Amino acid sequence: MPSLTEISPDQHAPPRTKGPELAVIVPTFNEHDNVIPLVDRLQAVLGGIDWELIFVDDNSPDGTADAAWDLAAQYHNVRCIKRLGRRGLSSACAEGILSTNAPFVVVMDGDLQHDESILPAMLAKVRAGADIAVGSRYGGEGSSGEGLSPIRQWGSTLATRLATLVAGQELADPMSGFFMVRRDLFVDVAPQLSAEGFKILLDLVVTATRKGTAPAIAQVPYVFRPRHAGESKMSPLVVLQFLGLWLSKLSGGVLPTSFLLFALVGFSGVAVHLTVLWLLTSVVPETFLLAQVAATIVAMTWNFFLNNSLTYADRKLHGAKLWTGLLGFYVVCSMGGVANISIASMIYEARPAPLIAGLAGALMSSVFNYAVTRIFTWK
Ligand code: GDD
Ligand code: MN
């Protein structure tokens, strides 16, 4: 890998009389060893184009931002936004895009998995009138090459099908993290985009379509490469966040992703509750009431920690706030439990259908718990 001093400043960039035409947005988390090779490669393919590079780093512990700022000291067209106290790929991309006035922006991973050599072709597409040019791993001769494990390959295919369903148009690779877009289109839909998860392209297409006109999308195939250095941040959490986003889009955005995740967590809590109850009562059958109390506490604790790292990953509580948050959560959920029972018995009195009454009670308490903890616990 070349060292900083081996890279000569870019003397071939066209003279700057106005802002750049293309902004390359690179979200980073622990990509220290990748930033120099990335700039090298961009230099090699973007000759003759007036471009800038914006790293958006979420305070990576490995010092990625320092490495990016070192580069910024050498190149007039490189800068780095360092965000404190926040995490998230989608929101990092949005912030980078909103920090430039280049008419075209491209989002690209910082780990060299995206093939930069297709950038001129993508630019040609948007210059020619496409709203979005997607770097597609499946379309045409593009493929996911060596970059994905079989499990991820399968998950990716499934996600592609689900995504095409909500996007309203056929997309070869709606899960792509590599796409170029007209800046004004992005700015227009940005307020409605979800800040959570990895799937900003899908969100962009669906949101723009719902606002009126389906964006004209061009696809440019490429081969997804293995990661250069460091580790992937893809996790089960990211997958669940994707499912939440998908359901939210399917509901026409009426149900927020966080509510759907909250409800999903609630469901898992019911399973935990019943398991604990069953275990305790099969050991000591006489103590049903005590077992029920214990199961409730275990399930509430489970729900709290799962919501803290999944539903509210972007505002996760730590340290003392974690414990006061847990206590507050117990209080809110107990109130939710009272709401559940009162609504259910009210409905049952009017019409003795236990299933409907039970469901209405459960729905009432989840909406209540969601709304109140959103205000007091995860503000
Ligand atoms: N600022 C910021 N904050 N950057 C992040 C964060 C975050 O919380 N999480 C990940 N990144 C950065 C990484 O540093 C990398 O540059 C890029 O986002 C992609 O992250 P990876 O962890 O390498 O993701 P991946 O390779 O598993 O996923 C890729 O393929 C997916 C489809 O399978 C990405 O291109 C995804 O966007 C794409 O959907
Ligand atoms: Mn990657």
Chain segment 257-293, per-residue pLDDT in tens: 888 889 989 989 989 988 998 898 888 888 888 888 8
- Average pLDDT on 351-379 reads 87
Q: Is the CB of 59 under 6 A from ligand 1?
A: no
User: Is the confidence at residue 5, as pLDDT, over 50?
Assistant: no
> Which residue bears the tokens 């309203």?
168
Distance 48 CA to ligand 1 centre (A): 29
Higher-confidence position of 233 and 244: 244
Q: CA angle, 183 as apex, 181 and 188 as ends, to 5°?
A: 105
Enter the DSSP assignment of 5.
G
Q: Is the CB of 96 under 6 A from ligand 1?
A: no
Distance 89 CA to ligand 2 centre (A): 11
Stated as kind and residue range, the H or E segment containing 53 is strand 51-57
pLDDT tens-digit series, residues 41-88? 999 999 999 999 999 999 999 999 999 999 999 999 999 999 998 888
Report whether 39 contacts 52 (CB < 8 A).
no
Q: Where are the alpha helices (DSSP H) in 231-318?
A: 236-250, 257-283, 288-306
pLDDT at 142: 47
Smallest CA separation from ligand 1 atom 8, residue:
88
pLDDT at 307: 93
Q: Is the CB of 29 under 6 A from ligand 1?
A: yes
Nearest ligand (C-alpha, residue 110): 1
pLDDT at 236: 72
pLDDT at 144: 57
- Average pLDDT on 357-363 reads 84
Computed from CA positions of residues 123, 128, 132, 134, in that sequence, does the dihedral angle turn out positive or negative?
negative
Q: HEC string of 297-319? A: HHHHHHHHHHHHHHHCHHHCCCH
Q: Is the CB of 139 under 6 A from ligand 1?
A: no
Higher-confidence position of 301 and 315: 301
- Average pLDDT on 225-251 reads 79
Residue 109 pLDDT class (50, 70, 90 cuts): very high
Residue 111 CA, closest ligand 1 atom number: 16
Give the mutation target among 24, 38, 89 for probing the ligand 1 site: most ligand atoms within 8 A of CB: 89
Higher-confidence position of 196 and 150: 150
Q: How many residues does the chain have?
A: 379
Q: Is the CB of 234 under 6 A from ligand 1?
A: yes
Percentage of the chain beyond pLDDT 70 is 92
Distance 110 CA to ligand 1 centre (A): 8
Of 3-12, 95-104, 130-139, the range with the lowest mean pLDDT is: 3-12
Nearest ligand (C-alpha, residue 231): 1
Computed from CA positions of residues 160, 161, 167, 168, in that sequence, does the dihedral angle turn out positive or negative?
positive
Distance 175 CA to ligand 1 centre (A): 11
pLDDT at 143: 54
Q: How far apart are CA 123 and CA 376, in angstroms?
A: 46
- Which residues on neighbouring strands pair with residue 11, listed in sequence order? none
Of 156-160, 180-184, 292-296, the range with the lowest mean pLDDT is: 156-160
pLDDT at 162: 77
Residue 198 pLDDT class (50, 70, 90 cuts): low
- Average pLDDT on 152-156 reads 74
Distance 331 CA to ligand 2 centre (A): 41
Q: CA angle, 69 as apex, 68 and 75 as ends, to 5°?
A: 90
**Most confident among 15-19, 147-151, 174-178 (mean pLDDT):** 174-178
- Is pTM beyond 0.95 here? no
Q: Is the CB of 111 under 6 A from ligand 1?
A: yes
